[in-house]
Amino acid sequence: MADESTTPSVDRRHFLKVLGVSGVGAAALTGCSTDRVTKLVPYLVQSEDQVPGIATNYASTCTECSAGCGLHVRTREGRPVKLEGNPEHPTNAGTLCARGQAGLQSLYNPDRLKAPMARNAAGGFDEIKWDDAIARLAAKVGSAGGKFAVLNGYGPSTFTTLLQDWTKALGGTHVAFEPFAREAERAANQKTWGRDDLPTYDFAAATHIISFGADFLETWGPVVEQQRGFAASHGFHDGTMSRHVFVGPRLSLTGANADEWLMVPAGSEAQVALAIAHVVAERKGHPLAGMLMAYMPETVAKDVGLTSQQLHDLADAFIASGPSLAVAGAVPTQHRGAVDLCHAVNLLNEVAGNVGKTVLFGAGPAVTDGFGRTRDLFASMGRGELQVVLVHEANPLYALPKSGKFLESFKKVGFKVSTASVLDDTAAQCDLILPNLHSLERWDDLRPRPGITGTLQPVVEPIFPVMHTGDVLLKVSKAIGGAVAGFNAASFEEHLKAEWQKRAASGKAGDFDSYWRGALGRGGIYEAAPAAAKPALVSGATQITFTKPAFDGTGDYVLMPYPSSMYYDGRGANKPWLHENPDPITKITWQSWVELHPDTAAKLDVREGEIVELTSPHGSIRSQVYVYAGVHPGVLAMPLGLGHTAYGRYAKDRGVNALDLIGAADSDTFLPYVSTKVSVKTTGDYRKAARVDGEARQLGRGIVQSMPLAYAAKGMTPEESYKAAGHVEGEKNTERELAAIEGFAEDQAKATQYGDYANPHPKWGMAVDLSRCTGCSACVTACYAENNIPTVGEEQVFRRREMSWLRIERYWEGGEAGEPLAVSFAPVMCQHCDNAPCEPVCPVYAAYHTPDGLNGQVYNRCVGTRYCSNNCPFKVRYFNWLKYNEVAFPEPLNLQLNPDVTVRARGVMEKCTFCIQRIRGAQNTARLEDREVRDGEIKTACMQSCPSGALSFGNVKDPEAAVIKWKRDPRGYHMLEETNVRPSVTYLARVLHQPPVATPAGEAH
């Protein structure tokens, strides 16, 4: 095996060298000249699974969060070019979120460390040799005598077990660390059911969902799986859909996808849950009703700022049909009452009979040691009890608040070691850095939850000559001997295989080789989780002791830090794709901000972009204002993830870290993120927000249309629904106008009779179901990755020069004059109009219509007049103003470029092509096999990545095509239909649980 695998690896390494060289040539492409001397470098031995020009997919596992989604890594000539979901994986079933896809940019990150680093006398770092680095670690660990600890952010896996055993053998302490570790939920589950683990939530089976601040579509739990489930139940299907109510002080992306948002003050969510539980228990005759007498809707209504009728209605709806589901526990509700809230929600699920139906124990996400253990570890560092500490795949000095003096404690450790592959906030404080291999470069596995073991395999030769931390441990063991002499595998790969051999032997796996290869090929082993008995309430569970959570400080506003959709816990901050993919709600890129309610802003007399100073007892920061009606007037919300002191060029000194304002935990179990009151002071400074949204409201244009469920269920079209709601008919075309439109269509039809256009061709079309789209923006990153779209940076976004071929439009609905705020999303890409206005204005025929119905854009013809963009009603054409192709991909980030797509140069207009490279690829394959392209064979990048399954693509001339069924849906409409551009993209109107007479979207303002 060793021989077999080393031979091709030599080739691949060499291949990458070549790619590095020719990559520069490709990026510098400006004209047609091919007169350069270029070299052709063959393989020494042709690897069987690499065919030049054809992609090879390898199965792997995503390590960008703890959900552990399955990956298919698309590689070309030995180099990963795109991450897609593994269709066989039960968690993500082929789809992948934006953060997961951006994992490619941590592989090719230009700031990755290229060698081990040791701190020198001057306080800087020197590159050292690996042998030296291992000897230094061995010397320190060997003499630590048990005064040694490991902080490990990598999930349960063969590696983590090795690390744990190794640490134990040395007498050290191992702490599993994760910033958003859901400790409050576990404490509540202990209180309710006497169990310490987390459940999985079946959103697909729920007919009524209440989320108490739990952002299950963006950052809380396994979001891709939850989004799939949510789309299955909340997407309009068979005349029905589930109802989703969001309760909390801030309207997050998850809240924006709710049918109703109940704005309550921070810390009062538990009262809402208990009031609903009380009504439900009463209706169902549950004995708990008596215990909850203190929480009758009438009692709590005033406290939570709702009417008792609202609470009664919500409770009635909650049990009206089928299983329902209530969820809580995310960071925006981690105040000091978080355990009470989760306990209340547990009781609500219990009385509604959801436990065992939509709340399922047994296969919940793997848990960590929790915040308490981490805090204790740092406390012992502070007491000088540790000589050596090793931080692996974690950045605690960023993710823990400054007020806890974690940095000061950390500095008291004699010898601090990090395995970070980028110099992050924690590694910058260490004495020795042993960069680990990226997860796409190394052997490993991951057990994100019972029943699932994902495998990781090297899909590329290491980009930089760094070492697997597993191998480091084994080498150090060899050097120390003694207690760790038993860790004597030749390499971590051998160790991993030996462990899998044991696993195979213990089951009915049969032949190990086929078991192992089978697991690698499928990306892991997926088994049903061991069945867990339905949990029973423990005796003390009904003793409800709700007290209002306390907040530190005397400021007027509660500070609510929340995990950013893109940066998550901060690890996304070094990836330009995530910087340039705007926040789904605020549409701000490359920055952090503080959200103020319009009333608050008016009171303070601040406007968007003004810098305010927030002060809490724990610190003070300055941040720019974003005025947002979706935040409670008593709350200031800030995204987490920026404000790094290190972590590479994209992250360092960018934005601020809201954690600087919060207190360190006074709770043993979890870090109370929402526990601080802040005061606000204006500074008079201003910083423009790099926002990518245009007009924030639809202004009656009907761009994102929605209709009440009652009408959609009757099969009405959006227009019929609009009229049925009592609206007068819009303006009609005059006969003269109609004749002109007709004449234009005839001319177009005639034009199609010339040349090749007369032959039979497919016609490509797309449909977007807005009742499934959540606005999560996974498709945006997929488009960037597939189409080599350059990230332009904050300065250029200020000038509205972002290149996002596919963008998510976000429109506010209501929110004024007492109307509830609602949000509409729609992905907008080139609509490939049949009567495309961009085409006739192009003086050089660079924009033209292809015979297969695409709106083509020939880059080498384009001279950059930008007339086409001026004439596009959808503003989906993007002009390459500067040499973005040269600055956006600093080496080795250029290795991510898709070889099937031209890297566009300066001065060229570019836009969505419906992934024409995928269309041509499928046509080539079909032609070789003497057949037609099959329906479903072509998946555009956006459609492939969408966790909600909101997009469909195909040949609209094929009556059997899936896309045709979508397009025939009565909910279908064309964006800006009145312009008569005849788009190839059909949108299916969003469906909402709203009273049938409510104003349809697009009219209200």
Find where tokens 């003499």 sit.
143
**Should residue 798 be labelled a site residue for other proteins when binding is judged by CB under 8 A?**
no
**Should residue 487 be labelled a site residue for other proteins when binding is judged by CB under 8 A?**
no
**Should residue 485 be labelled a site residue for other proteins when binding is judged by CB under 8 A?**
no
- CB under 8 A: which stretch of 240-248, 604-612, 891-899, 945-953 binds other proteins? 891-899
Residue 51 contacts by C-beta under 8 Å, 6 or more apart in sequence?
Answer: none
Total residues interacting with other proteins, rule: CB under 8 A:
99
The correct pick among 109, 167, 200, 913 for binding other proteins (CB under 8 A) is: 913
The correct pick among 509, 604, 922, 976 for binding other proteins (CB under 8 A) is: 922
Q: Which is nearer to other proteins, 88 or 313 (CB)?
A: 88
**Should residue 850 be labelled a site residue for other proteins when binding is judged by CB under 8 A?**
yes
Angle between helices 269-284 and 297-304 (to 10 degrees): 160
Query: Whole-angstrom Cα distance, residue 891 to residue 875?
Result: 32
Query: Whole-angstrom Cα distance, residue 85 to residue 320?
Result: 36
- CB under 8 A: which stretch of 332-340, 596-604, 724-732, 935-943 binds other proteins? 935-943
**Should residue 76 be labelled a site residue for other proteins when binding is judged by CB under 8 A?**
yes
Quick one: tokens of 954? 């195909």
Query: Whole-angstrom Cα distance, residue 183 to residue 336?
Result: 12
Q: Which is nearer to other proteins, 79 or 136 (CB)?
A: 79
The answer for 141, left when phi > 0, alpha when psi is -120 to 50, beta otherwise, is: alpha
The correct pick among 512, 859, 867, 881 for binding other proteins (CB under 8 A) is: 859
Residue 708 contacts by C-beta under 8 Å, 6 or more apart in sequence?
Answer: 721, 725, 991, 992, 993, 994, 995, 996, 998, 1000
The correct pick among 101, 268, 898, 986 for binding other proteins (CB under 8 A) is: 898
Query: Whole-angstrom Cα distance, residue 277 to residue 964?
Result: 45
Q: Which is nearer to other proteins, 728 or 928 (CB)?
A: 928
Query: Whole-angstrom Cα distance, residue 243 to residue 233?
Result: 9
Q: Which is nearer to other proteins, 88 or 556 (CB)?
A: 88
What minimum distance in Å lies between the beta carbon of 475 and other proteins?
A: 25
Residue 52 contacts by C-beta under 8 Å, 6 or more apart in sequence?
Answer: 77
Binding mask 435-474 for other proteins (x = CB under 8 A): ----------------------x-x---------------
Residue 662 contacts by C-beta under 8 Å, 6 or more apart in sequence?
Answer: 401, 403, 559, 561, 616, 618, 672, 673, 675, 676
Query: Whole-angstrom Cα distance, residue 402 to residue 544?
Result: 34
Residue 179 contacts by C-beta under 8 Å, 6 or more apart in sequence?
Answer: 399, 400, 569, 570
**Should residue 375 be labelled a site residue for other proteins when binding is judged by CB under 8 A?**
no
Residue 244's φ and ψ, nearest 5 degrees, are -130, 125
The helix/strand/coil state of 725 is coil
Q: Which is nearer to other proteins, 34 or 543 (CB)?
A: 34
What minimum distance in Å lies between the beta carbon of 147 and other proteins?
A: 42
Q: Which is nearer to other proteins, 249 or 899 (CB)?
A: 899
What minimum distance in Å lies between the beta carbon of 602 and other proteins?
A: 51
Q: Which is nearer to other proteins, 511 or 695 (CB)?
A: 511
Q: Which is nearer to other proteins, 502 or 517 (CB)?
A: 517
The correct pick among 91, 160, 788, 986 for binding other proteins (CB under 8 A) is: 788
**Should residue 126 be labelled a site residue for other proteins when binding is judged by CB under 8 A?**
no
Quick one: tokens of 319? 């049990």
The correct pick among 307, 321, 682, 924 for binding other proteins (CB under 8 A) is: 924
What minimum distance in Å lies between the beta carbon of 902 and other proteins?
A: 5
**Should residue 644 be labelled a site residue for other proteins when binding is judged by CB under 8 A?**
no
The correct pick among 916, 964, 985, 991 for binding other proteins (CB under 8 A) is: 916
- CB under 8 A: which stretch of 463-471, 642-650, 726-734, 858-866 binds other proteins? 858-866
Query: Whole-angstrom Cα distance, residue 753 to residue 768?
Result: 30
What minimum distance in Å lies between the beta carbon of 73 and other proteins?
A: 9
Beta strands in 807-955 (DSSP E): 807-814, 821-828, 847-849, 855-857, 877-879, 909-911, 951-955
The correct pick among 67, 68, 74, 549 for binding other proteins (CB under 8 A) is: 74
Binding mask 307-346 for other proteins (x = CB under 8 A): ----------------------------------------
**DSSP 8-state symbol, 28:** T
Instruction: Using alpha carbons, select from 562, 647, 470, 911 the residue that is nearest to residue 105.
Output: 647
**Should residue 894 be labelled a site residue for other proteins when binding is judged by CB under 8 A?**
yes
Query: Whole-angstrom Cα distance, residue 55 to residue 77?
Result: 8
**Should residue 27 be labelled a site residue for other proteins when binding is judged by CB under 8 A?**
yes
**Should residue 15 be labelled a site residue for other proteins when binding is judged by CB under 8 A?**
yes
**Should residue 35 be labelled a site residue for other proteins when binding is judged by CB under 8 A?**
yes
**Should residue 40 be labelled a site residue for other proteins when binding is judged by CB under 8 A?**
yes
Tally of CA atoms within 13 A in the half-sphere of 528 that contains its CB: 4
**Should residue 960 be labelled a site residue for other proteins when binding is judged by CB under 8 A?**
no
What minimum distance in Å lies between the beta carbon of 858 and other proteins?
A: 5
**Should residue 965 be labelled a site residue for other proteins when binding is judged by CB under 8 A?**
no
**DSSP 8-state symbol, 122:** T
Residue 758's φ and ψ, nearest 5 degrees, are -75, -20
Quick one: tokens of 627? 């005025």
Q: Which is nearer to other proteins, 47 or 865 (CB)?
A: 47
Residue 211 contacts by C-beta under 8 Å, 6 or more apart in sequence?
Answer: 244, 245, 246, 247, 248, 254, 255, 258, 326, 327, 328
**Should residue 524 be labelled a site residue for other proteins when binding is judged by CB under 8 A?**
no
> According to CB under 8 A, which residues from 938 to 957 bind other proteins?
938-939
Question: DSSP secondary structure string, 583-643?
Answer: -TTT-B-S---EEE-HHHHHHHT--TTEEEEEEETTEEEEEEEEE-TTB-TTEEEEEES--
What minimum distance in Å lies between the beta carbon of 984 and other proteins?
A: 14
Binding mask 801-820 for other proteins (x = CB under 8 A): --------------------
Burial class (CB in 10 A: 0-12, 13-18, 19+), 2: exposed
The helix/strand/coil state of 711 is helix
What minimum distance in Å lies between the beta carbon of 757 and other proteins?
A: 9
**Should residue 526 be labelled a site residue for other proteins when binding is judged by CB under 8 A?**
no
What minimum distance in Å lies between the beta carbon of 425 and other proteins?
A: 32
**Should residue 141 be labelled a site residue for other proteins when binding is judged by CB under 8 A?**
no
What minimum distance in Å lies between the beta carbon of 518 and other proteins?
A: 5
The correct pick among 26, 479, 604, 724 for binding other proteins (CB under 8 A) is: 26
**Should residue 53 be labelled a site residue for other proteins when binding is judged by CB under 8 A?**
yes
Burial class (CB in 10 A: 0-12, 13-18, 19+), 139: middle
What minimum distance in Å lies between the beta carbon of 180 and other proteins?
A: 32
The helix/strand/coil state of 546 is coil
Query: Whole-angstrom Cα distance, residue 1003 to residue 999?
Result: 7
Q: Which is nearer to other proteins, 430 or 897 (CB)?
A: 897
Quick one: tokens of 407? 């940095």
What minimum distance in Å lies between the beta carbon of 583 and other proteins?
A: 30
- CB under 8 A: which stretch of 53-61, 527-535, 537-545, 945-953 binds other proteins? 53-61
- Is the Cβ–Cβ distance between 635 and 248 less than 8 Å? no
**Should residue 887 be labelled a site residue for other proteins when binding is judged by CB under 8 A?**
no
Q: Which is nearer to other proteins, 55 or 432 (CB)?
A: 55
- Is the Cβ–Cβ distance between 861 and 845 less than 8 Å? yes
What minimum distance in Å lies between the beta carbon of 91 and other proteins?
A: 16
Q: Which is nearer to other proteins, 34 or 539 (CB)?
A: 34
